[in-house]
Structure 1
């Protein structure tokens, strides 16, 4: 949900709360999560960073976990999963590279996966924000590439999509945050080549040389 109500869903009806305070609390929680990791964030720190009282935070969130889940939902409120559609695999990879090129987003991704054991709710909120439709869009793009002969007929798009998800996490975990889009695209392209990906342009060029 993109509205403040979506980030704070489940609250009882009553006097409208300050949207400015809502945003300040969620922004503060997100930044502290990125800077310090879940284990080093407290409601007191969030209240101080947001410039509000602890009571103001607790009126919105009953505990730290609920606050951080709300922060993750708020951070990814504009995640475009419903309208994703790429013309081809190269465009899909370029889109991923553009997303993963932001150091802040990469650090937040690492923080969320690092908290998977102690705060699984955060990773679920991250997955829910990106949604099943995002996964389906990837698989549909891979299916079209296979049908066009760009991928071998035996390639399973569901398995390859999972490989890409793991490759994204590996990349943000082991590569410097200042690596750019070209390096990230190369990372995914290497995986595609290993499974036999041959884009239409390269196949047409090979035929022209014959």
Structure 2
């Protein structure tokens, strides 16, 4: 999902291969060592470029991390399809796919690092929330409203609570309780979660 309101990297467009290398390096180091240890110098070295090349694209490390995470989400979703136009039942089937579950496993590793950086780098999470998380909540809210309108959900269902329940359940299962050992275990959990959302027997 493209977010047209997201701030653009500073500077004029550069080589796309270097763009991708810098974003990938930032993600890899974010997962491996966290925000504090993932310096611009280390990111540039891992990407096979220079610090100057990174700073031509991004204002600072925080700006780079936000763009890297958003880029990862957009790249993953481009392969999965236009989820924002799907029905809630179609979203259920999307989340059951092996590639979606694998993407969730990778994303929650990054989310854990971002959450862990809140005290020392609150601007990173704030910027990511504004540029990515909140727009996604709005889109997911529209999916839920459509489900209420077509009778899939109760008309008096609380949209905000449903979103929080869904996101909270996924985060709790993957971060707080630990990643399931097998894809099928997570698929079963997703099925159980959606059955609660639909309130089906």
TM-score tier by shorter-chain length is 0.7 to 0.9
Rg bigger for which structure? 1
* 1:97–1:52 CA distance, 2 compared to 1 (3 A): same
Change (3 A) 1:48 1:109: same
Aligned to 1:208: none
| Farther off after superposition, 144-153 or 170-179 | 144-153
- Matched residues in 2 for 1:196 and 1:96: separation? 15
Alpha-carbon offset, residue 146 of structure 1: 4.2
- TM-score (normalizing by structure 2): 0.73
TM-score, length of structure 1 as denominator length = 0.70
Q: Residues 35-62 of structure 1: CA distance to partner in whole angstroms, max 9, x if unpaired?
A: 2221221112112111122232233334
The superposition leaves residues 81-114 of structure 1 with CA deviations (integer Å, 9 ceiling, x where unpaired) of 9761223x33222323442333322312222222
CA offsets, 1:104-163, max 9 Å, x none? 22312222222233333433454423552x334433443444455554454312211111
Structure 2 unaligned residues grouped into runs of 5+: none
In structure 2, the CA distance between the partners of 1:39 and 1:178, relative to structure 1 (3 Å rule), is farther
Q: Which runs of no fewer than 5 residues in structure 1 stay unpaired?
A: 203-210
SS state of the match for residue 176, structure 1?
coil
Q: Which of residues 30, 35, 52 is equivalent to 1:33?
A: 30
> Number of residues paired by the alignment?
191
Alignment RMSD, CA only?
A: 3.4
2:144 to 136, 142, 147: 142
- Deviation, 1:167, is 1.2
Residues in 2 aligned to 1:121 and 1:12: alpha-carbon distance in whole angstroms:
21
The match for 1:101 is: 102
- Pair 65,190 (structure 1): closer, same or farther in 2 beyond 3 Å: same
